[in-house]
Structure 1
């Protein structure tokens, strides 16, 4: 069991700065024993009202978190197990409507066992209602954050919980679609926890109660203050050096163990950042860092950064999730490209490497917000290109882009010799070839310490040695 605030109002008090303005609701208790005439339902509803002091299983209203006004939807588990009935759905729907009318983020604090059996199909249909309200709020460009309390199961998890943009959870909380009474008798209890959902890409972070207010405040600050227009790439890090004289040298530089990696670039570029985790399809790739960062001017940029490893399908899907979320919220995107290529083992193929790469290509291509890309290391084939912005791709001195990894190229053309030497000599290096349309074109201006990286896409915006405006 988690260290969870017991009541809906305790949960609200835990995360808000102070005052909470409850949303009034005119509806009363169900008539008689409800739509099914469930024996004893009216009496059970009355006992729940008396025990909790609430009129339904959810409390909705507005409050401040980190100085940002939000709409809160907090579940009362002591009220019939926090179950979703018609009254619950009506209140949550009204809260979402208020959020859209006032352009406010939504924070959901679920603690629910699922649909209310006493109301039959009318209760089950609330899942469609809540999913629709959540989708309309997303379409309006408003962020939604869920904090999963103990337990969050059934339809509450499958709508307001899993349907949120950012999903946080309390340690040890039960989180699952299957409630505790409907699981197989031999099921491993650990599979139905927040920690298991985090490990399989369905939760972004586990947050202890004492850190919730600050964590939510950080997220709300980041998601509600987007930067404007295209963002400049980070400054090149590392030891000053001239551009590589050959393809072999470029590959060696990119693979040097002391070369600055994605985390160093993100730490240097942002004053604050918060990461999302997982592809929402069962996978997590630690080699793809995704999240939102604050620039020195206080504005937010989304980032997706490869860490120099072969990117797994879950990494591509997480990056696509990040790009689409940023696009919906109007937040510009920065991508850091650094991979020898997409993971190519049997597990990657079974996990859908091709479809995952295609999905990321599509997300970047259709983004309405500006996307800026910086090549900081290896640019290995389509696994790197999928993360690169068409027309706004820059490169550091310690990087190269290639149609295929040198080893794979050597194998493909049947050269003999060392693992990188022949392939890095023979294939034409595409990192910078002035005047060649479609090749990476511009000479690098990053030889001086701290100098900005150089643009690399021929005939595209940003080419010709001019940096885009900050």
Structure 2
């Protein structure tokens, strides 16, 4: 564990936290518990299952909570709770981000409900730190299970994991027989519970702490247009321009806009939408957040991930750039069962309530409410090869019970061209 601390940070100073409780066999008198604890101290050289202190990661001072799995399986007991509570309190005093390097089997059974109740203490401290506007990053080592996963791990703003780490609420000795691959970092990434799996932990922590502590003080400028600069003459021409295979999509815009960036992934509800890109990027030495549609129909998980991004950025004071490009929200039966309406409402609410500046650029298709949920009222711009419409021309034609050959005419009537959007007051201008 000490080697891990030395690898990720410099000038580490451990906090001095008194060890509460003098009872040899713990709060519930578990036979032999005192002896087990003494052996753990001799084996690891540590007095408890966590070490907490302050260190510098890259150029950023951070409060570290580091688990020693060799000390009773990195389990959470009363003294562990004392240390973690003190660490969060110091982080708020010092105004530092919190980085938790977790390796734990869960709550310490030899302390019974006293051990389990430490999860409430940890949750309270994390909530206070979140309310103070300080970022929290967790690193899931092998294993991260039980209450450590369900508090410090899954509850962090950004969740990183080491390759192959066992991650899950149920530990290996208590889970039902079945698919063990479900309890891996890779599986949790696929299920939207983890943001990144990292090989270079010191580098990843340096990048993330740099981004999350260096918010821009300016509103995001809309990106420059990367596609055609020619405005369409008709609505149907505008629609066709957005559907051209050569039109640049979100990846090209993000690469051109940011010097470098780091993604977040997943909605924390079991879903990932590959058609929505969210994260934080550095532009001119300052950080902006981004949520970008990539041209596909947006899934409920995409709306929830974007809402998570907007709320996190708002809490940390980081301005947000959104890119609109979708034919609309996914509307099949799977999307309805996954809560499409509630997910779209969640993003509308997140954007509407954000106190940080949010700037939007429509870079392609702007299909109905699934696109509008990503757009900032009063701060939406449009690219020349984009459109924004109450619904697609095809859907409008179908709703009006017109023959399919009327789709181009309907597109013209919808006034969805970039210049129409500016004239209607929907967009501020054409980039």
TM-score, structure 2 length as denominator? 0.97
Whether 1:203 and 2:194 are equivalent positions in the alignment is yes
Equivalent residue for 1:462? none
Whether 1:149 and 2:137 are equivalent positions in the alignment is no
Q: CA deviation at 1:419?
A: 8.2
Q: 1:441 to 1:291 in 2, by over 3 A?
A: closer
Q: CA deviation at 1:20?
A: 1.0
Q: CA deviation at 1:442?
A: 5.9
Whether 1:333 and 2:324 are equivalent positions in the alignment is no
What SS does structure 1 have at the residue aligned with 2:62?
A: strand
Q: Tell me, in whole angstroms, the C-alpha distance in 2 between the residues paired with 1:435 and 1:183.
A: 58
Equivalent residue for 2:6? 13
Equivalent residue for 2:267? 279
Q: 1:399 to 1:81 in 2, by over 3 A?
A: same
Whether 1:193 and 2:176 are equivalent positions in the alignment is no
Check the 8 A contact 1:415/1:422 in 2, yes or no. Answer: no
Whether 1:216 and 2:205 are equivalent positions in the alignment is yes
Q: Tell me, in whole angstroms, the C-alpha distance in 2 between the residues paired with 1:368 and 1:121.
A: 41
Equivalent residue for 1:88? 80
Q: Tell me, in whole angstroms, the C-alpha distance in 2 between the residues paired with 1:123 and 1:197.
A: 26
Check the 8 A contact 2:228/2:384 in 1, yes or no. Answer: no
Equivalent residue for 2:426? 440
Structure 2: runs of 5 or more not aligned: none
Q: Tell me, in whole angstroms, the C-alpha distance in 2 between the residues paired with 1:390 and 1:379.
A: 14
Q: CA deviation at 1:34?
A: 0.9
What SS does structure 1 have at the residue aligned with 2:104?
A: coil
Whether 1:421 and 2:414 are equivalent positions in the alignment is no
Provide Cα deviations, 1:106-160, integer angstroms capped at 9, x if missing partner: 1000000000001111101000000111111111111111110000000000000
Provide Cα deviations, 1:249-306, integer angstroms capped at 9, x if missing partner: 000011111111101010000001000000000000010000001112x000000000
Q: Tell me, in whole angstroms, the C-alpha distance in 1 between the residues paired with 2:96 and 2:330.
A: 40
What SS does structure 1 have at the residue aligned with 2:419?
A: coil
Q: Tell me, in whole angstroms, the C-alpha distance in 2 between the residues paired with 1:50 and 1:132.
A: 32
Check the 8 A contact 1:154/1:176 in 2, yes or no. Answer: yes
Q: 1:435 to 1:83 in 2, by over 3 A?
A: closer
Equivalent residue for 1:130? 122
Q: 1:234 to 1:67 in 2, by over 3 A?
A: same
What SS does structure 2 have at the residue aligned with 1:118?
A: helix
Q: Tell me, in whole angstroms, the C-alpha distance in 2 between the residues paired with 1:123 and 1:28.
A: 13
Q: Tell me, in whole angstroms, the C-alpha distance in 1 between the residues paired with 2:239 and 2:281.
A: 30
Q: CA deviation at 1:433?
A: 3.3
Q: Tell me, in whole angstroms, the C-alpha distance in 1 between the residues paired with 2:318 and 2:416.
A: 34
Q: CA deviation at 1:89?
A: 0.5
Matched pairs, number: 431
What SS does structure 1 have at the residue aligned with 2:4?
A: helix
Equivalent residue for 1:39? 31
Equivalent residue for 2:276? 288
What SS does structure 1 have at the residue aligned with 2:302?
A: helix
Check the 8 A contact 2:263/2:279 in 1, yes or no. Answer: yes
Provide Cα deviations, 1:309-356, integer angstroms capped at 9, x if missing partner: 000000000000000000000000000011000001110000000000
What SS does structure 2 have at the residue aligned with 1:373?
A: strand
Equivalent residue for 2:223? 234
Provide Cα deviations, 1:361-401, integer angstroms capped at 9, x if missing partner: 00000001000000000100000000000110000001000
Q: 1:48 to 1:260 in 2, by over 3 A?
A: same
Provide Cα deviations, 1:224-256, integer angstroms capped at 9, x if missing partner: 011113221111112432x11110000001111
Check the 8 A contact 1:430/1:440 in 2, yes or no. Answer: no
Q: Which structure shows the higher helix fraction?
A: 2
Whether 1:342 and 2:329 are equivalent positions in the alignment is yes
Whether 1:393 and 2:393 are equivalent positions in the alignment is no
- Which of 255, 265, 269 aligns to 1:267? It is 255
Check the 8 A contact 1:432/1:442 in 2, yes or no. Answer: no
Q: Tell me, in whole angstroms, the C-alpha distance in 1 between the residues paired with 2:427 and 2:137.
A: 42
Q: Tell me, in whole angstroms, the C-alpha distance in 2 between the residues paired with 1:112 and 1:442.
A: 52
Q: CA deviation at 1:15?
A: 1.2
Q: CA deviation at 1:44?
A: 0.4
Q: 1:60 to 1:396 in 2, by over 3 A?
A: same
Q: Tell me, in whole angstroms, the C-alpha distance in 2 between the residues paired with 1:36 and 1:15.
A: 37
Q: 1:398 to 1:239 in 2, by over 3 A?
A: closer
Check the 8 A contact 2:381/2:427 in 1, yes or no. Answer: no
